[in-house]
Amino acid sequence: MTKQSDPILRVEGLKKYYDTSSGFIDSLLGRGQTVKAVDDVDLELHEGETLGIVGESGCGKTTLGRSILQLIEPTDGNVYYRGEELTDVSNTQLRRLKTDLQYIFQDPFASLNPRLTVGDIIGEPLDVHGIATGQERTERIGELLETVGLSANYTRRYPHEFSGGQRQRIGIARALAVDPEIIVCDEPVSALDVSVQAQILNLLEDLQDEFGLSYIFIAHDLSVVEHISDRVAVMYLGEIAEVGPTQAVFSPPHHPYTEALLSAIPEPDPLWESERITLSGTVPSPINPPSGCRFHTRCPRIIQSKEYDLTQTEWRSIVDLKLHAGNTESVESLTTSDDGAVDVDRSAISNDRLDRLIREEFSLPRELSDPEAETILSEAIDRLHAGEIADATDRLGAFVSPCERSTPDHYRADDTHRIACLLYDSGFDNADSDSGTDAIVEN
């Protein structure tokens, strides 16, 4: 990969919000809600490189890729291609620029028109942009098929006559038809068998070397991203949690979310032993994302308040209980494993029994290591038993992590590696000395 001093593509403050209101009445009554699918994303792509974008399903990866290429209109922010702003050009200018910016879709079964022949599918971009006609068009289609490893004789066949890997090759040929500089690959191998995945990845790498392409490679499989990417951006709930060179992001992982994702990669070794990091709770809704750091509701290394002296496990469990208690329906009944995982009516059990059930449910010890924290927890459980759920929630509100209050900036580990986590803020005096962070980070 050869980088230019200036990026070929630059994304600044990109946002894509969706209004969930069902009509005029909802909007008038203020019932509509906003899904923050992509929220204030900054990225750069250099010529000849592959930028991987990874994250769980629903984190906004695909929306980001489509917003960058203006396949869907961004809510806010700017996208610059070679200094030209894509978000502020006419439709005519954007169509001209689309010859340099192409997209490979995730599903090779749904992205090809079943009523068109392969020749028409690949030839359509040539027709739309007036690139080739007649015999020149026919020869160009044949060349593209051979470039992606298919026979030029396939032009009269239909998509249903091909396997998944062959269909994806046709999709790649269609993207190459207009001789682009940048291709957004939206999980191009996730729907394919493992052996076929390797073939497609090798093809993409060969095409990059041959034509000098730049890729934005969207995937949820970190092992695939590690193989093909020069740099990686880790995405969580519409935001970039970490971005940097692949080796810097992966070895060792820095952001707690990246660390958890990497721990989930399976190893093809029956004797392999490693600790899998299981994140608590579920991914929050992008309609109402958490305050502060969006990952704090699940983070295994959440920073604790300086007012208490608890282990990391105790602190994480207390925060989980506080979040759970904030949901009224969640505390109307409790589940206990020693009774066969059945629901237990709160009003029919003693306070001591409820105390034990709650501690078992949230992996809390019989007594916390910090006396003051233990007093607060016991009082909250007493109020839960009395049915005073709001009072119990208020009492648990004494346990506040700095991660809930402060939104982390992208702290720089070096010129190319940025991490959105308070653990890496050298000016943040609440950082836990036992957090496992040993990187030196400059603001």
Find the domain containing 66 and state its range. Answer: 9-24+31-263
**Total domains, the chain:** 2
pLDDT in tens, 266-301: 766 666 666 778 888 778 888 889 999 999 999 999
Q: Helix, strand or coil for residue 282?
A: coil
Domain check: are 257 and 335 in the same one? no
Quick one: pLDDT at residue 389?
86
Q: What's the whole-number mean pLDDT along residues 246-268?
A: 86
Cα 174 from Cα 128, distance rounded (Å):
12
Domain check: are 53 and 129 in the same one? yes
Domain membership of residue 329 (yes or no) is yes
Closest by CA to 334, choosing from 312, 314, 362, is: 362
Q: Report the 3 state secondary structure along 165-180.
A: HHHHHHHHHHHHCCCC
Closest by CA to 295, choosing from 261, 262, 252, is: 261
pLDDT in tens, 204-248: 999 999 999 999 999 988 888 998 999 999 999 999 999 999 999
Is 361 within 8 Å of 335 (Cβ atoms)? yes
Which is more confident, 386 or 119? 119
Among residues 366, 382, 400, which one ends one of the domains?
Answer: 400
Q: Chain-centre distance of CA 165, in angstroms?
A: 25
Confidence at 191, pLDDT banded by 50, 70, 90: confident
Contacts 24+ apart (CB under 8 A), 319-322: 319/399, 319/401, 320/280, 320/281, 320/362, 321/358, 321/362, 321/364, 321/377, 321/396, 322/393, 322/396, 322/397, 322/399
Q: Report the 3 state secondary structure along 297-333.
A: CCCCCCCCCCCCCCCHHHHHHHHHHHHHHCCHHHHCE
Domain check: are 239 and 321 in the same one? no
> What is the residue-averaged pLDDT of the chain?
86
Among residues 263, 294, 328, which one ends one of the domains?
Answer: 263
Quick one: pLDDT at residue 325?
82
Quick one: pLDDT at residue 29?
64
Supply the CATH number for residue 210's domain. Answer: 3.40.50.300
Domain check: are 59 and 194 in the same one? yes
Domain check: are 149 and 222 in the same one? yes
Quick one: pLDDT at residue 178?
94
Domain check: are 246 and 357 in the same one? no
As beta bridge partners, residue 236 has 239
Domain membership of residue 44 (yes or no) is yes
**Which residue type sits at 353?**
R
**Which residue type sits at 307?**
E
Domain membership of residue 50 (yes or no) is yes
pLDDT at 57 exceeding the cut of 80 = yes
Domain check: are 321 and 255 in the same one? no
Angle (CA) 434 435 436, round 5°: 95
Domain check: are 243 and 316 in the same one? no
Domain check: are 41 and 179 in the same one? yes
Q: What's the whole-number mean pLDDT along residues 62-88?
A: 94
pLDDT at 75 exceeding the cut of 90 = yes
Quick one: pLDDT at residue 6?
86
Cα 88 from Cα 52, distance rounded (Å):
26
Closest by CA to 46, choosing from 229, 243, 225, 214, is: 214
Domain membership of residue 364 (yes or no) is yes
Is 235 within 8 Å of 60 (Cβ atoms)? yes
Cα 103 from Cα 288, distance rounded (Å):
30
Q: Which two tokens stand for residue 161?
A: 């006559």
Quick one: pLDDT at residue 347?
62
Q: Helix, strand or coil for residue 198?
A: helix
Domain membership of residue 300 (yes or no) is no
Quick one: pLDDT at residue 424?
87
pLDDT in tens, 129-157: 999 999 999 999 999 999 999 999 999 99
Q: Report the 3 state secondary structure along 47-96.
A: CCCEEEEECCCCCCHHHHHHHHCCCCCCCEEEEEECCEEHHHCCHHHHHH
pLDDT in tens, 342-386: 445 556 678 898 899 999 999 999 999 999 999 999 999 999 888
Domain check: are 244 and 147 in the same one? yes
Domain membership of residue 369 (yes or no) is yes
Q: What's the whole-number mean pLDDT along residues 113-119?
A: 95
Q: What's the whole-number mean pLDDT along residues 257-272?
A: 77
Q: What's the whole-number mean pLDDT along residues 301-316?
A: 93
Domain check: are 204 and 132 in the same one? yes
Domain check: are 236 and 126 in the same one? yes
Domain membership of residue 2 (yes or no) is no
Quick one: pLDDT at residue 271?
61
Cα 195 from Cα 188, distance rounded (Å):
14
Domain membership of residue 270 (yes or no) is no
Cα 76 from Cα 13, distance rounded (Å):
7
